[in-house]
A and B are shown apart, each in its own frame.
Chain A
């Protein structure tokens, strides 16, 4: 981050700036022991002296971070040893103060909004803002640190694994805590705190190191992530509200992962993808034992899932075979038209305009809960003294589906097929000239992606209890696409994050549900303008969007050839 303050002034005032910043951080630290609000109803009750609420403790963490970042370097370069070089102290202090101030502003604004006016903000609330402003203003005077190079420090394997496991445990705890916030202001404040923590860790160089550790211990990362996800229902104490959201997030994410193959890997823009989810859902509904289904064939669930997937991929073949020959833009519109055809057809199969299969716009209600592997998904049960409700069952089922999808996805990505897909995305003509069977591969991606959506749809039908055509409008396809784009095309992690954000935020922030779509549209435009590669960027993809960035190009090239794991001695360090 470049500031307008010239280096000369920065160096002259580096000690006073550090002192003022530390004082600001101290003020923030003190403020958490003071009340922030006159009423108890705002956020998580910040109206006591000497007893910080959990959210106030979060501010304590941020304040201590700023304080530590500003004071520890005073120990001196000699005694800090290599840590002085590989960590970005000053820049991180700046990031920490700025994010702390933003988080404080969100908290204070929430107090004002929820209690009706700024008058309700108590001394502590003003103090934290004041301290934050002081910290931000003074850290702007600190000289910039060089890029952190913690990822080049050698570390023992056990430490890396331990770090990953701890990170996952913290993530579980944070997710449970965030979902536990019923108050919208509290949820926003905590969300902002999490973003602050992530940004601070990234700036400090910890994320670079974690990324290296994660790459080196990929299996540990994946397994611990799944263990954490598996344990999540146990943190909910039988509450169904959050588990229902979580299950919906996973269904959405599974569909988005399917779309990710088509859009992210092969580069085929599909604007009617929701139709495949719909095909799966309707197939499962018709084959279920719902009284409104007109079929007398009720196979066991595992067969239903397969049939749903196959029906969806058959549709994928029908729509793909003739249209995959046309180029990108056309394909987008054809798939959009196909999505509309699907929805209208489902609406019309009501006995009046066509054969009666789907009950038209009423859809198929009363779909019974799944009964598979001798286990009824509708029954709540108790494990280790903790209630596990109906939605938790579906959550675990979807977790299994997503695990399968990820295994298939990563294996395909690193296989001949995956390389063929990426080649098609980068340059179809060149790929064809190199002997890649582009048509067959595109068709495979289309049908495969559709199969995944169909499977997700089959679970969705049972989870939602009813299936109606108007669940599968164009906007849903746009949301799926947004999840892929927002998270990062072609990456599994990114799509999971994108899907979570897009499903979770509207559920938690109901007060602006009216502005949800407006912000969604704005977000798509802003994303494409400023970070088209998404939150988690696939590096090769990132290069596509920033073709002029020579540095990035070299980085990607280097990474593709070899992983560097040695400390770079020639790094310049801007010292105190």
Chain B
């Protein structure tokens, strides 16, 4: 039974990671009906942005828990969020906005292009001033980069009965809770949030009511990118390293989570992420070997799309094909 609970907690923390990324897919899809294929890369950029912040701070190591959790980690989060948001808004401006009235295929293909471009850009130019010089002391992103360890998270764990809970898992879960509360507040209590809901329900009417739809779309991309960046940091703390490819699989899983919960539905993304994480953790333990865990996740995606395309909590179903 301990094993079951251990896998459950592993699954929940993994699921929290997926959920944080999935929100970005769902918010953007709800408003512009675009699968932002490059969202996984925004998550990756967030992790690298946080790492860059740590480098700029002078690679602080062996700090007291208070310093690490009170100063270094928050600054890294801010750095990650800023870089993700900037990159996301740039891609929206350059690659998606000009294609808003194009046939559906165009923005999706453009998004694939952005995804490949961002991966390669980080691989080639991280730690350099492009085409000029390498920045001394900075690592090369061509292979995995070890993520800095944060005292109090990277090295700590809690033992509950027979279940060992890593502090990084708690951090991810806590981040999800905080972000969910923030999102709820943002969507229901702020003007921009309500404008977002209105736009996703009916963009034309929203425009007639005086909502600046372009601004709402930018806000959606920014919110999604911010949460993805937090997930990026959580990923770094959980696995101990980051690499330029990490966005692909994580993005795909997070999209699965978004569809599982019902795409366009923010609560659905959170629930879908948690369910997907738990299913993946349990399935890899009880069905075959761990080598098959990704297969179960994707099989779940296909099953959901076939039998319940509106997802667990119900999607805003748009069929513009």
Contact = CB atoms under 8 A, between A and B. Distances in A.
Interface string A517-558: 110111111011100100000000000110000000000000
Nearest to A337: B298
A334 B301 contact: yes
A89 B255 CA distance: 55
Contacts of B63: none
Secondary structure of the B contact surface, majority rule: helix
A323 interface: yes
Interface residues of A, number: 50
Contacts of A333: 35, 252, 255-256, 259, 301
Interface stretch (A50-58, A343-351, A389-397, A449-457): A343-351
Given A267-B105, A518-B120, A518-B121, A525 B94 contact: yes
B98 A529 contact: yes
Contacts of A347: 291
B62 interface: no
22 contacts: A269-B108, A322-B305, A327-B319, A327-B320, A330-B259, A333-B256, A340-B252, A341-B298, A344-B295, A348-B295, A514-B124, A515-B120, A517-B116, A517-B119, A517-B120, A521-B116, A522-B117, A524-B116, A525-B95, A525-B114, A528-B99, A528-B106
B248 A354 contact: no
Interface string B235-252: 000000000000010001
Nearest to A336: B252
B291 A344 contact: yes
Interface of B: 33, 35, 94-95, 98-99, 102-110, 112-121, 124, 248, 252, 255-256, 259, 288-289, 291-292, 294-295, 298-299, 301-302, 305-306, 309, 319-321
B103 A544 contact: yes
Contact of B112 (A328, A330, A334, A524): A524
Contacts of A328: 104-105, 320-321
A572 interface: no
A481 B302 contact: no
B236 to A, nearest CB: 23
B112 A337 contact: no
A329 B319 CA distance: 9
Contacts of B95: 525, 528-529
Given A518-B124, A525-B117, A327 B321 contact: yes
A545 B106 contact: yes
B294 A340 contact: yes
A570 interface: no
A544 B255 CA distance: 29
B243 to A, nearest CB: 15
Nearest to A322: B306
B109 A323 contact: no
Contacts of B115: 521
Contacts of A344: 291-292, 294-295
B289 A353 contact: yes
A352 B289 CA distance: 9
B114 A326 contact: no
A336 B289 CA distance: 23
B176 to A, nearest CB: 23
Contacts of B103: 532, 544-545
A474 interface: yes
B302 A532 contact: no
